[in-house]
Amino acid sequence: MTDEFIQMMAKTQADDLQEFEQAHRRQIVTRLARIEGQVRGIQGMIVENCSCEQVAVQLTAARRALDKAFYEMMACSLNTHVEAAGDMDEVRASTKEMARLLAKFG
């Protein structure tokens, strides 16, 4: 393989990764907008004096949606780090960092 071919392949992979990251960001933003709508609905329920149980059900749904967004973001981050890693030591370091973040925030 020529150096030019290798550079072209590396650029193609980098472009694909960037497109994947952008699409994933759009998905997360869309999910967060839905969650924002849920939270506004919950605020309305509280103002309208809905029962605590009804509010709790909606709070639980919003919390689960936030958790799902968090784990999807973490999975994307891990994929990005693994794809960008030059060698197994970098993969291990990225994986270790993701595990630390999951332990801290998850």
Segment 41-50, tens digit of pLDDT: 999 999 999 9
Lowest mean pLDDT among 54-58, 64-68, 73-77: 73-77
Cβ-contact 42, 58 below 8 angstroms: yes
List the domain range (segments joined by +) for residue 9: 3-105
**Is residue 62 very low, low, confident or very high in pLDDT (cuts 50, 70, 90)?**
very high
Number of domains in the chain: 1
Which has the higher per-residue pLDDT, 22 or 106?
22
Nearest to 20 by CA among 78, 105, 67, 102: 78
* Global model pTM greater than 0.85: no
CATH number at residue 88: 1.20.58.1000
